A and B are shown apart, each in its own frame.
Chain A
Amino acid sequence: MAVTTSGHLPAQAEHEQSKLPWYIRDLHKYLLTFAGLTVMYVGLRLYQGAFGVLAGLDSTEPAFQTHWMRLFHIELGILALVFPALWGYLWLTRDQNLEAIAPKEEIRRYFTLTMWISIYTFAVYWAGSYFAEQDNSWHQVSIRDTPFTANHIIEFYFNFPLYVLLGGSAWLYARTRLPLYAKEISLPLTLAVIGPFMILVSVGFNEWGHTFWFREEFFAAPIHWGFVVGVWFALGVGGILLQQVNRMIELLDKIEDLP
């Protein structure tokens, strides 16, 4: 279960066959995750294009149940599986011998943490930029008669939990594999994960407000400001960068500069 941290990691033999430098050993996984997420998000957008107008305008229609509520239940099922699986994996494979970590291995893990945070920000892009503003577009052509509209089903109930999953994974990775983050809790990393998590919680306030006032008459209306305050916390990433750079400068001083 536990991963040891000395120079002889099981993955190191595997790495010796790879052409990638040791510090970006996880690059393939990183790029594959990007590709997988891109296919998924574009697929969801194409689904909206195919079934938004066809079956997504009236929530009382049977077609709405077939095409949209079924998708909602599938999303919930996927999230219910992926959340415990990924967080459980990160916890169960944690490093229980962090005191013995070699400088090179620690540097490599900082690269992998940066990849985790990068994947997290990619999910924040889709949730905070594309599908968020698309909410306004869709609700200006459809009558909003349910909190489960054709865009909400993807944005609120899938994209938001997904970036929470990925942000939480980055936090767990740091906490379980990097000495500084294991010894104490990084405040900027925690802020950068908790703040956007509160955006998901703000859905409750937003939808409660829309029970009085269904329209998007002003997208900048106060019932949306809970989302705004949550996203400010993403600025905590600046603090993570400073923590990492400071630590990596220390670690680089401990290793030889090969040609």
Chain B
Amino acid sequence: MATTKLLDIPPQPYTGEKARLTRAYDYLILVLALFLFIGAFHLHVALTVGDWDFWLDWKDRQWWPLVTPLMMITFPAAVQAVLWTNFRLPLGATLCVSCLLIGTWITRIFAYHYWNYFPINMVLPATMMPSALVLDVILMLSNSLTVTSIFGGMSFALLFYPSNWPIFGLFHMPVEYGNAQLTLADVFGFQYIRAGMPEYLRIIERGTLRTYGQYATPLSAFCSALLCTLMYPLWWYLGTWFATIRYVKTI
């Protein structure tokens, strides 16, 4: 299914004052979009992915690779639906994810580290940047909602864990703590007590998962890939619906 038509672009590009005027408008929109997507997408992610992105010891093999791509493909799909369809700008996903990273890094440094003294390693955000770049490229090359849903959605999810492994892999080193084998990430959770986190959540991964060996992560990733192929078109249409140009008589 090909994406729909472009806006009516003037036949002759502007050259004089009109060109300067439209460029000034572009800059205004850029500033507007920057703060809009930092604010809106970050709130969406903080309240749906939440602790899996906040805390090192929550970055498990069962839920983290599932929840993060699934909730983070939402705004990129909706924004692509507007920017690609109307303006042929192949950067909706990269824009959203870049804004998200700016917002999360500012917060992790100033809200977690400087105000409440959590070590920055304990609150590093995950990155979806490689996934977003691939999603944008697949849409640009295919110009197809169907192809992007299937191959873009799958890539978005499957690239998540390998992209983040260089950042977080070292914290999965096994350590002996209180006569038990934990990871370094678990020890962070034990050492830095969080008032809202009860004892039964101190080890995030479920008991049986740690005997499931190396298979838990790819299983979660492929489950996420399947769900992302469905989530992508859903949010594409949601983005199209919100970007309506309708005027109404009453509200």
Residues of A participating in the B interface, judged by any CB pair closer than 8 Å: 21, 23-24, 45, 48-49, 52, 107, 111, 114-115, 117-118, 121-122, 124-130, 132-134, 136-144, 180-181, 183-188, 190-191, 214-221, 224-225, 227-228, 231-239, 241-243, 245-246, 248-249, 252-253, 255, 257-259
Contact = CB atoms under 8 A, between A and B. Distances in A.
A258 B16 CA distance: 6
Nearest to A126: B39
Contacts of A126: 39
Contacts of A187: 244, 246-248
13 contacts: A23-B21, A121-B33, A130-B110, A141-B195, A144-B196, A185-B247, A186-B247, A188-B245, A233-B242, A235-B40, A235-B75, A238-B243, A252-B10
Nearest to B31: A118
Contacts of B114: 49
B62 to A, nearest CB: 15
Contact of B242 (A117, A235, A259): A235
B contact face: mostly helix, strand, loop, or mixed:
helix
Contact of B195 (A48, A52, A215, A259): A215
Contact of B49 (A114, A127, A220): A220
Contact of A234 (B10, B39, B52, B86): B39
A contact face: mostly helix, strand, loop, or mixed:
helix
Contacts, number: 229
Nearest to A244: B25
Interface string B29-41: 1011101101110
B116 A140 contact: yes
Given A130-B110, A232-B44, A249-B8, A121 B242 contact: no
The 5 tightest CB contacts between A and B, nearest first, are A238-B243, A220-B50, A219-B50, A184-B247, A134-B111
Contacts of B118: 137
A191 B17 CA distance: 33
B51 interface: yes
Contact of B18 (A138, A143, A228, A252): A252
Contacts of B82: 238, 241-242
B195 A142 contact: yes
B11 to A, nearest CB: 11
B35 A122 contact: yes
A136 B7 contact: no
Contact of A125 (B50, B51, B103, B250): B103
Given A133-B104, A134-B115, A258-B17, A219 B197 contact: no
